[in-house]
């Protein structure tokens, strides 16, 4: 293993390790008035769990420029899906990748962290705790006649780290 490969593996290992350590921690339904990671002693939704793990692993979460041309932090699932990392095809997901779900077929609504090709960990607000589940493909049942997404999970994203290169400004972890 080269010295370049070692940091890449250690970041992925940190993401998985921190996510595993969070299993059982309380999660509440997202409260928009409070963008903090913790509301009381609970994660403030699934995104708060993701931010906690990524920041704790040394992965910076960049701001993005919205349609109103205002720079803002990523605070919602759809913002992570649109502005963070690179797409990974199903079957190529690895530990440390983000996994996204949609309940209505129109937009990303839930996010978790892949721990291996078969399992993911997520802030499960209905169970009220961080939990580990098997990745299963299932159809999105919705009344929408022309959904953007028809199957869950809707996608995977690999976190990236910034580089000093102006042409290749990010590298995968």
**Distance in angstroms (rounded) separating the CA atoms of residues 39 and 113:** 21
**pLDDT for the residue 169:** 59
- Give me the average pLDDT of each 10-residue run along the chain (173 residues): 51 90 88 68 88 92 90 92 93 94 91 94 90 94 79 93 64 68
Rounded to two decimals, the pTM is 0.86
Domains of the chain: 5-172 (3.90.1720.10)
Task: List alpha helices for the chain, DSSP H.
Answer: 5-21, 46-56, 77-83
What is each CA distance from 49 to 7, 62, 144, in whole angstroms? 23, 16, 29
**pLDDT for the residue 164:** 66
**pLDDT for the residue 54:** 95
In the block, residue with structure tokens 């996010």:
111
Cβ–Cβ < 8 Å for 93, 163: no
């Amino acid at each position: 293993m080269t010295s370049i490969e070692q940091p890449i593996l250690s970041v992925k290992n940190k993401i998985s390790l921190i996510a595993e350590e969070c299993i059982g921690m309380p999660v509440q339904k997202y409260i928009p008035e409070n963008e903090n990671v913790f509301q009381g002693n609970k994660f403030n939704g699934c995104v708060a769990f993701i931010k906690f793990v990524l920041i704790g692993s040394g992965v910076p979460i960049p701001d993005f420029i919205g349609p109103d041309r205002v720079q803002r932090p990523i605070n919602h699932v759809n913002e992570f899906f649109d502005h963070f990392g690179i797409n990974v095809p199903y079957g190529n997901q690895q530990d440390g990748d983000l996994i996204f779900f949609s309940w209505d077929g129109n937009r990303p609504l839930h996010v978790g962290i892949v721990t291996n090709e078969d399992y993911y960990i997520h802030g499960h607000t209905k169970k009220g705790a961080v939990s580990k589940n098997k990745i299963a493909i299932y159809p999105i049942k919705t009344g929408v006649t022309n959904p953007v997404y028809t199957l869950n999970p809707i996608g995977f994203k690999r976190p990236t780290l910034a580089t000093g290169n102006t042409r290749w400004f990010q590298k995968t972890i």
